[in-house]
Amino acid sequence: MTAASTAPAPAPAPATARAPRRTALLPTAALLLGALYCLLPVAWVVVASTKSGRELFSTFTFLPGTGFAENLADLSAYRDGVYWQWMANSALYAGLGALLSTAVSALAGYALAVYRFRGREAVFNVLLTGVLMPPVILAVPQYLLLAEVNLTDTHLSVLLPSVLSPYGVYLARIYASAAVPADVVEAGRTDGSGEWRIFRSLALPMMLPGLVTVFLFQFVAIWNNFLLPYIMLGDDEKFPVTLGLFTLLQQGSSTPALYTLVIAGALLAVLPLIALFLVVQRFWSLDLLSGAVKS
Amino acid sequence: MNHRTVAACTAAALAAAVLTGCGSSGDDSAASGPAELTYWAWAPGMDKVVALWNEENPDVKVVVKKQASGDDLVTKTITAAKAGEAPDLVQAEYQALPTLVGNDVLADISGEVAGAEKEFAPGVWQQVTLGGDAVYALPQDSGPMMFYYRHDLFEEYGLTVPTTWEEFADTARALKEKAPEKDLTTFSSNDAGLFAGLAQQAGARWWTTEGRKWKVAIDDAATRKVADFWGSLVREGAIDNQPMYTPAWNKALNTGKQIAWVSAVWAPGTLTTAAPDTRGKWAMAPLPQWEKGANATGSWGGSTTAVTGDSEHKEAAARFATWLNTDPEALAALVRESGVYPAAKAAQSGGALSRAPEFFPNQPDFYEQAAEIAQGTAPAAWGPNVNVAYSTFKDAFSKAAKNRSGFDSALRTMHEATVADLRKQGFGVAE
């Protein structure tokens, strides 16, 4: 493209430029439709969070209301600001959990990709089975196991099961085998550096974009996780925000659900995820530039 | 992420593991000091009620851990009990008690709560004993059912408040004639509790025991009568067929598209948020009757305080449960802070309930009427798999309601699924 703009345009260029534009119409329309489908509920949450309880069900769905500040104030005041405690808990579970999970995935994925050892494929196959296993069905067994060591209803009971993510290890292995050439590892060894140093100084920077992906996946998965903390935690001071909002909805048949608070709370709860994506996004573009060997 | 970050994180995690490990084992060995009881409850403001107890009883400290209500909490409690980690006290709905008892979650506290029986209506007390000598919980709140209607719109359309179900059907048809776009009410296939209450009023007893076997009578004559009644109203289009507790339903109540609601004593709270523009326009009347002049009603909602078998302080826990549900000061606080309609007879009128709900300024004797209605509460009979019956109700009845095809086969499906599940669980089932 840059070459085309400096040099005098060759005759066939406009034709090739126009052709993809015409074919791109349908995919673009499909993608726009998809975007609309995904963003409409978000727009609903944004609009609904501005409505007061009186307006929520009575005014037009996408007509902004007048109660946004009031909803936020009510939410913050609810049981002495327990909502912010839930947010902090979610940040702890998702932040620390994803970080630890990424660290474990990086080490395990690198080892599986670079070293040859007996049982490597067996380990990898077990991991693949783990990828296919929905985490939901593991929650109850994990609860019973943690109960054996008296760890239920602690922060650790939510963190520990999140640390090992088969999918993260799988992704890290695939990424490491593609991004860390054997030549680089070999060169490191020839130059006399130890295995840990090779991993830290050579492989880790190359794996970074992949690890960012693992981190993001894990962060979102833990942030949105409901069943695991639901089973593990009894103390509402330790609840993540998903669980906390659920208690606002289910207050027993004699008490109406606090819809306005839940909607405002849900809106605030997705903001950190959006912010995280915006911040971390730029690491992905490193992808193709971070290789060290010409092939 | 560099080496140092990884190392720091690992160290932090290990430190956390050590600290939490110590913390939780410390809790367990603290049995010698003042007893600390954990209490899973969902009622709003329960922590404030419990604060009163903690002030007066420094030797037994109760800590409320607020939970989300519903069937999921029953499952969670059972799971916790299997691991030996259940809290000392749980808030449980009446229909959940047989399930909890069947899973060995609850302790029999009949020895500790002797004398509490006289505080409650027999129909309520029977639900916490499951008809035997044991006592598995203390009744906390109850939900006697009533008929709510828009008195302004009833007047506008020249309708009278129905006292029998026959009149109820006529009222629905009369409204359709005068205002075809409006509905008297809706049949909600989402709310099995409502249907169960209506069947109770008609005299149904869905689960009973016969010797050592369960007897299921969901498909009995009384329930059939109720199902046929609502099924034919839905089929002829005299009432709506959309579920309750949806935004659309809220809107229908708020705009007066639906002008009546068969509900329970707690309805004012729901109406306050569902239909905020209609304050002062509603009135409450007894539920229509199957026999003219009778005073029977069912119950919808309501819960109990139960002590678990895992509790190391059963006696103290039972003492707290008794205080919470029979002490006048506690009951007044429950009404004030949690907005419950207490199950204890003495607290159902006067005191905190001497003033009508804020949403019903036009009916100053609301709670006096409610207490009168509550006296006719029919006994309920719950079994160990109410959740299965309820979820089958939702599936089968929502299909039937959508197709406006009558509820005959839906009721049979519900009955058969319940019996089949009992058998599968290994219970003896009497024919």
Question: What average pLDDT does the segment A182-200 reach?
Answer: 91
Measure the CA–CA gap between B138 and B135, rounded to whole angstroms: 8
Diameter over CA atoms, chain A? 77
Token digits for A42?
């978000």
Indicate if the pLDDT at residue A58 is higher than 80: no
Tell whether A263 is within 8 A of chain B (Cβ). no
Q: Give the number of other CB atoms < 10 A from CB of residue A114.
A: 18
Structural contact between residues B88 and B39, judged by C-beta atoms closer than 8 angstroms: yes
Mutate to test the interface with A, among B6, B28, B62 (most CBs of A within 10 A): B6
For residue B255, give the amino acid letter: T
Mutate to test the interface with A, among B65, B77, B190, B340 (most CBs of A within 10 A): B65
* B69 contacts A251? CB cut-off 8 A: yes
pTM: 0.82
B144-299+363-430: in CATH 3.40.190.10:
yes
pLDDT digits (tens, 9 = 90+) for B75-114: 999 999 999 999 999 999 999 999 999 899 999 999 999 8
pLDDT of residue A258: 82
Q: Read out DSSP for B39-84?
A: EEE-STTHHHHHHHHHHH-TTEEEEEEE---SHHHHHHHHHHHHTT
Structural contact between residues A258 and A77, judged by C-beta atoms closer than 8 angstroms: no
Across the interface, which of B42, B83, B272 has its CB nearest the CB of A252?
B42
Across the interface, which of A140, A247, A256 has its CB nearest the CB of B68?
A247
| Domains of chain A by residue range | 76-284
* A58 contacts B276? CB cut-off 8 A: yes
Q: How far is B106 from chain A (nearest CA, A)?
A: 17
Tell whether B341 is within 8 A of chain A (Cβ). yes
Task: Find the closest chain B residue to A163 by CA distance.
Answer: B13
Q: How far is B141 from chain A (nearest CA, A)?
A: 9
Q: Is the ipTM of this complex over 0.85?
A: no
pLDDT digits (tens, 9 = 90+) for A124-156: 999 889 889 888 888 999 999 999 999 999 999
Question: What average pLDDT does the segment B373-381 reach?
Answer: 88
Q: How far is B325 from chain A (nearest CA, A)?
A: 17
pLDDT over 70, % of chain B: 92
Across the interface, which of A79, A196, A254 has its CB nearest the CB of B301?
A254
Q: Read out DSSP for A234-264?
A: --TTS--HHHHHHHHH-S-TTS---HHHHHH
Across the interface, which of A53, A154, A211 has its CB nearest the CB of B24?
A154
Indicate if the pLDDT at residue B4 is higher than 60: no
Q: Which residues contact A173 (CB under 8 A, 6 or more apart)?
A: A108, A109, A110, A112, A113, A124
* CATH architecture designation of domain B31-143+301-353: 3-Layer(aba) Sandwich (3.40)
pLDDT digits (tens, 9 = 90+) for B18-36: 334 333 333 443 445 688 9
Tell whether A150 is within 8 A of chain B (Cβ). yes
Structural contact between residues B244 and B169, judged by C-beta atoms closer than 8 angstroms: no
A76-284: in CATH 3.30.365.10:
no
Higher pLDDT, A7 or B155: B155
Measure the CA–CA gap between B344 and B117, rounded to whole angstroms: 10
Same fold, B31-143+301-353 and B144-299+363-430: yes
* A253 contacts B193? CB cut-off 8 A: yes
| Mean residue pLDDT across chain B | 88
Across the interface, which of A200, A235, A253 has its CB nearest the CB of B2?
A200
Q: Which of A 106-145 lie inside 8 A of B, CB atoms?
A: 106, 140, 143-144
Indicate if the pLDDT at residue A286 is higher than 50: yes
Phi, psi torsion values for B132, nearest 5 degrees: -110, -160
Indicate if the pLDDT at residue A113 is higher than 80: yes
For the CA atoms of B341, B345, B348, B354, the dihedral, rounded to the nearest 10 degrees, stands at -150
Measure the CA–CA gap between A196 and A110, rounded to whole angstroms: 11
Q: Give the number of other CB atoms < 10 A from CB of residue B183.
A: 21
| Domains of chain B by residue range | 31-143+301-353, 144-299+363-430
* B10 contacts A234? CB cut-off 8 A: no
